């Protein structure tokens, strides 16, 4: 078995992530335009699987796919005042062609409310058109000035955005729970954990009445927001003239929601949460090669037998690769462990003679002997076992990084040592949240849990004012 060659991700996460990104051929930062990276094939497989999973669950929930243009009229951005205030500094503008100025100023979508709702005003006429549930899978562009590692935060990132319109507020509120369920099902398929936290009023998506965010602690105990759901109410339907006729023939303004899972960030989670000092560790779903068959020496008898085993695995529907290259067995082990390939089947003279195969699972780096005629059933069970093990680890990591502070001194002490999430009673005031961020060196009030009710003390842990909720504090990317 190869020796570890990467830094300890819990002690040197940045270096670990950069090396995995390079050695596993994920993202290439050498594109030459600041804030933009190239997604290499190994990364794009993970990305496509995430897209497929999210789209499948959205369609099952009644959504249909659509696609809007990249460019949006600037006058649309000005319609919703809170939205323009939140986004105007982040947008890229397009003002001319190579030879002349454009007739109107355009901007590249940072999100698509201002593109979509003017069209919804044309499409939605009657209560029979509702609910209207649709999504697009696309890239969005924001002039980010906070530089972080590839996929965490950049000027171009991949996501899905669903925009749903309902005749009543109750239906819109119910969609928030449907979006939570879509996130849960998707994350389960990639063995990822999350906390769903309702953002404070001063930290909502610009133009939203409620914002739910899905937060995950990374190995350095900073939090990555991976998706958001917003209750938009009538904030966009009203100013953009979206109306419908009720069953009584009365004109009414519908309610809307938006769900934005960040595909780039979810891919970063798959790499970061599961990886170890040997490279990526992938569940079957995320792996472009699920099983690699390795003759330990490049000898005709070993290669021929390995090829027959490979063909059998391929016929069963697995993504399998025969590695019959000239590298040493150790070099091959290193390569496939770095790529996170879930299962390795090793073929040597003993395996050829006995038909008892040596099978190594990547998550535990553990070998076992499997009779050839039992290999396919064992692969089926390994797929489930590896997913369950990665899920157990990831939830254990999340839960071990939730702490609680009952006093201000305790809170300060935990921000200097514990990291992760810190629960505390919060007054809900923006000025208090801002003071906490300054005094703790960047810890932000994330908000309260949106899926469970948690009791809180009578007074704010930080300022002593009336406590209104049990909030979560964390450093975030």
Model confidence over 124-181: pLDDT tens digits?
Answer: 999 999 999 999 999 999 998 776 789 998 899 999 999 999 999 999 999 999 999 9
Instruction: Judge whether residue 409 has pLDDT over 90.
Output: yes
Between CA 105 and CA 115, with CA 111 as vertex, the angle to 5 degrees is 55
Model confidence over 425-434: pLDDT tens digits?
Answer: 999 999 999 9
Exposure string for 343-375, b = 16+ CB within 10 A, e = fewer: bbbbbbeebbeeeebbbbbbbeeeeeebebeeb
Model confidence over 225-281: pLDDT tens digits?
Answer: 999 999 999 999 999 999 999 999 999 999 999 999 999 999 999 999 999 999 999
Residue-level pLDDT at 39? 97
How far CA 95 is from CA of 118, 123, 470, in Å, comes to 22, 29, 47
Model confidence over 167-180: pLDDT tens digits?
Answer: 999 999 999 999 99
Residue-level pLDDT at 147? 66
Instruction: Give strand pairing partners of 449.
Output: 197
Q: What is the spatial distance between Cα 45 and Cα 341, in angstroms, rounded to a whole number? A: 13
Q: Where are the alpha helices (DSSP H) in 198-320?
A: 263-274, 300-315
Which is more confidently placed, 57 or 80? 57
Residue-level pLDDT at 156? 94
Residue-by-residue DSSP string for 305-327:
HHHHHHHHHHHTT--EEE---SS
> Residue 59 is encoded by which pair of tokens?
């369609």
Instruction: Judge whether residue 336 has pLDDT over 80.
Output: yes
Instruction: Give strand pairing partners of 292.
Output: 321, 344
Exposure string for 104-125, b = 16+ CB within 10 A, e = fewer: eebbbbbbbbbbbbbebeeebe
Model confidence over 17-49: pLDDT tens digits?
Answer: 999 999 999 999 999 999 899 999 999 999 999
CA 350 to chain centre: 44
Q: What percent of the chain has pLDDT over 70?
A: 99
The pLDDT of 358-363, averaged and rounded, is 98
In the chain the domains, ranked by start, together with CATH numbers, are: 13-274 (3.30.930.10), 289-380 (3.40.50.800), 402-474 (3.30.110.30)
Q: What is the spatial distance between Cα 5 and Cα 172, in angstroms, rounded to a whole number? A: 50
How deeply is 436 buried, as exposed, middle or buried, from its count of CB atoms within 10 A (0-12, 13-18, 19+)?
A: buried
Q: Percent helix, strand and coil across the chain, each rounded to 5? A: 40, 25, 35
Residue-level pLDDT at 299? 93
Q: How confident is the model at residue 321 (pLDDT cuts 50, 70, 90)?
A: very high
Residue-level pLDDT at 80? 77
Instruction: Give strand pairing partners of 358.
Output: 346, 369
| Residue whose C-alpha is closest to residue 35's, from 114, 148, 132 | 148
The pLDDT of 117-127, averaged and rounded, is 98
Q: What is the spatial distance between Cα 224 and Cα 193, in angstroms, rounded to a whole number? A: 12
Helices 263-274, 41-60: inter-axial angle, 10-degree rounding: 120
The pLDDT of 302-314, averaged and rounded, is 98
Model confidence over 174-223: pLDDT tens digits?
Answer: 999 999 999 999 999 999 999 999 999 999 988 899 999 999 999 999 99
Three-state secondary structure call for residue 76: helix
The pLDDT of 61-67, averaged and rounded, is 98
Work out the mean pLDDT of the chain and round it to a whole number: 96
| Residue whose C-alpha is closest to residue 251's, from 259, 261, 241, 260 | 241
């Amino acid at each position: 078995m190869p020796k570890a060659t990467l830094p300890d991700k819990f002690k040197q996460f940045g270096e670990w992530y950069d090396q995995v990104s390079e050695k596993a051929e994920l993202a290439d930062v050498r594109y030459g335009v600041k804030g933009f990276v190239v997604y290499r094939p190994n990364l794009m497989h993970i990305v496509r699987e995430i897209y497929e999973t999210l789209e499948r669950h959205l369609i099952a929930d009644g959504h249909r796919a659509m696609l809007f243009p990249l460019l949006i009229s600037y006058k649309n951005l000005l319609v919703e005042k809170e939205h323009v205030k939140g986004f105007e500094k982040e947008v890229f503008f397009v003002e001319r062609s190579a030879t002349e100025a454009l007739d109107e100023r355009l901007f590249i979508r940072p999100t698509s409310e201002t593109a979509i709702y003017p069209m919804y005003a044309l499409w939605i006429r009657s209560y029979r058109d509702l609910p209207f549930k649709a999504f697009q899978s696309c890239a969005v562009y924001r002039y980010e000035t906070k530089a972080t590692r590839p996929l965490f935060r950049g000027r171009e990132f991949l996501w899905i955005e669903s925009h749903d319109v309902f005749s009543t507020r109750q239906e819109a509120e119910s969609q928030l729970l449907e979006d939570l369920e879509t996130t849960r099902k998707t994350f389960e398929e990639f063995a990822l954990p999350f906390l769903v936290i309702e953002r404070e009023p001063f930290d909502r998506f610009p133009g939203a009445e409620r914002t739910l965010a899905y937060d995950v602690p990374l190995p350095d105990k900073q939090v990555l927001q991976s998706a958001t759901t917003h209750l938009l109410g009538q904030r966009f339907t009203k100013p953009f003239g979206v109306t419908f006729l009720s069953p009584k023939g009365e004109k009414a303004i519908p309610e809307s929601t938006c769900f934005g899972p960040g595909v780039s960030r979810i891919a970063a989670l798959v790499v970061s949460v599961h990886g170890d000092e040997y490279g990526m560790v992938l569940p079957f779903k995320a792996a472009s090669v699920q099983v690699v068959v390795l003759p330990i020496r490049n000898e005709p008898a070993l290669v021929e037998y390995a090829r027959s085993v490979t063909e059998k695995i391929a016929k069963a529907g697995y993504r399998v690769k025969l590695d019959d290259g000239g590298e040493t067995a150790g070099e091959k082990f290193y390569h496939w462990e770095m790529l996170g390939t879930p299962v390795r089947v090793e073929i040597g003279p003993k395996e050829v003679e006995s038909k008892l195969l040596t099978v190594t699972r990547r998550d535990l780096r553990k070998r076992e002997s499997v009779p050839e005629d039992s290999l396919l059933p064992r692969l089926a069970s390994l797929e489930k076992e590896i997913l369950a093990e990665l899920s157990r680890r990831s939830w254990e990591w999340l839960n071990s990084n939730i702490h609680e502070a009952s006093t201000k001194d305790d809170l300060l002490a935990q921000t200097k040592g514990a990291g992760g999430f810190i629960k505390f009673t919060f007054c809900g005031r923006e000025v208090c949240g801002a003071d906490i961020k300054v005094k703790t060196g960047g810890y932000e009030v994330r908000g309260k849990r949106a899926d469970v009710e948690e009791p809180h003390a009578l007074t704010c842990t930080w300022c002593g004012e009336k406590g209104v909720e049990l909030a979560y504090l964390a450093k975030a990317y």
